[in-house]
Amino acid sequence: MPSNATSLTRLLIAEHKSVLRQVRRLVGKESAEDVAQKLWLKIQKIRDYPPIENKRAYLHRLARNIAIDHLQSDRRQAAVAERAEALLWGVDFELGPERIIESRDMLDRIRAVIVALPEPTRTILRLTRLEGKTQRETAEHVGVSTTTVENHLRRALAELSRVRDGDEG
């Protein structure tokens, strides 16, 4: 007689589309595959005793519970990020005219530093920080090693840090 984990794994494979539909309704299309992966991992840890009588109902209830846990985790992370931002920038998110002018001036200085960066440093900074490419993807795109990408990034970020810290020279 197959174990609970084996039976549920087979059932998950057979009902993959139905489980994904159920999960998508709860967490959205972007997170559904992540939840399905968590479900599979959870199923692998299920013991044989006590035996599960209605495996289909158990599978769908487990999928629902994992999806809800996923949503709650996302909400907690968003709340932590919001609190961190409030601590970093202060509770008052309203910017007065003076702060707006200072911020615009800082953006102008940052733009000037980025424009002045030599190639391929500027391209590497754009690909990794603005377009979200990994260092490996950037290295392949530019045609250099990942170590070279790291060195260019280090120089670019050092320049930007000088502007942020007011050490322009």
pLDDT band at 100 (very low <50, low <70, confident <90, very high): confident
The answer to which of 12-21, 88-97, 127-136, 146-155 has the lowest mean pLDDT is 88-97
CATH topology of domain 4-88: Rna Polymerase Sigma Factor; Chain: A (1.10.1740)
Q: What share of the chain is helix, strand, coil (3-state, %, to 5)?
A: 80, 0, 20
For the domain made up of 97-165, the CATH class stated in words is mainly alpha
What is the per-residue burial (b if ≥16 Cβ within 10 Å, else e) of 90-117? eeeeeeeeeeeeeeeeeeebeeebbeeb
The answer to whether 42 and 83 have CB atoms below 8 angstroms apart is: no
pLDDT digits (tens, 9 = 90+) for 22-69: 999 999 999 999 999 999 999 999 998 888 999 999 999 999 999 999
CA–CA distances in Å: residue 20 to residues 31, 58, 60, 63, 66: 10, 15, 10, 9, 12
Spell out the domain ranges in the chain: 4-88, 97-165
Q: Against a cut of 0.75, is the pTM above it?
A: no
- Is 80 exceeded by the pLDDT of residue 110? yes
pLDDT band at 94 (very low <50, low <70, confident <90, very high): low
Query: What's the CA gap between 39 and 27, in Å, rounded?
Result: 14
Give 74 or 167, the one with higher predicted confidence.
Answer: 74
Please give the single-letter amino acid code of residue 12: L
Look-up: residue for tokens 């910017």? 95
pLDDT band at 1 (very low <50, low <70, confident <90, very high): very low
